[in-house]
Amino acid sequence: MRIAVLGTGMVGQALAGRLDELGHDVAVGTRDPVVTMARTDPDAMGTPAFGEWAAAHPSVRIASMADAVEGTDLVVNATSGAVALAALGEAGADRLAGTVVLDISNPLDFSRGFPPTLFVKDSDSLGEQIQAAFPAAKVVKSLNTLTAALMVNPRQLADGDHSVFVSGNDAEAKALVTDLLRSFGHTDVIDLGDISTCRGTEMLMPLWLRLMGTLGTGMFNIKVVR
């Protein structure tokens, strides 16, 4: 598939790298490709500078948000939640029309320190806000409940014996995302229902963050035992 990955942080690098490895035609979208490529320092999360990553992945194209999404079959939103709507806006509502948008972002608000709170929750969600802002896009929320390394290589942990969720209004779009998740190694993909069901997965973040603190690692996931 032709796939655009928006965002150059840890999640963007993980997704773009794995999709490239699986043989997809991948472009990474960023606000300003020249600035992104010129960065030499790790980001605040300790993710290596994007220029190093790009040098190690010569077949992945680096482009503006708009150029990256042009003519793609799938757009992966791997930006941080606070800038997700702006990034997709730069990509352009017209270019996103009819396209499957896999939204991985969480509405984390770090303005009051750690642990973060959620800037939208409970009676609304970031996934719904994105779907409302881009009504002709086919938004599927998924992968927002686990750490980047496990999103794309779930078999690293317990041979993949854990769960991941999809939420979205379009059945074909969810089927496309589900196939992609299986190609990553996910074995238990649970369809929660329409896009509003991602309120549940976004609100898992507070528990996830405290578990990371307790376990001392992000290399865990939840399994729905039934």
Our finding on whether 44 is near a copy of itself (CB under 8 A) is no
By CB under 8 A, the residues from 185 to 214 that bind a copy of itself are 190-193, 197, 199-201, 203-204, 206-211, 213-214
- For residue 208, the surrounding DSSP H or E stretch is helix 205-215
Give the Cα separation of 214 and 201 in Å (integer): 20
Give the Cα separation of 133 and 62 in Å (integer): 25
Instruction: Report the 10 Å Cβ neighbour count for 226.
Output: 6
* 119-150 exposure pattern, b = at least 16 Cβ within 10 A, e = fewer: ebeeeebbbbbbbeebeebbbbbbbbbbbbeb
Question: Among residues 34, 44, 113, 225, which is the contact residue for a copy of itself, using CB under 8 A?
Answer: 225
Closest CB to a copy of itself among 46 and 123? Answer: 123
Our finding on whether 47 is near a copy of itself (CB under 8 A) is no
Our finding on whether 41 is near a copy of itself (CB under 8 A) is no
CB of 164 to a copy of itself, least distance (A): 12
Q: What torsion, rounded to 10 degrees, do the Cα atoms 142, 79, 212, 207 define? A: -60
The site map against a copy of itself for 94-113 (x = CB under 8 A) is: ------------------x-
Q: Which residues bind a copy of itself (CB under 8 A)?
A: 112, 117-118, 121-123, 157-158, 161-162, 165, 190-193, 197, 199-201, 203-204, 206-211, 213-215, 217, 219-226
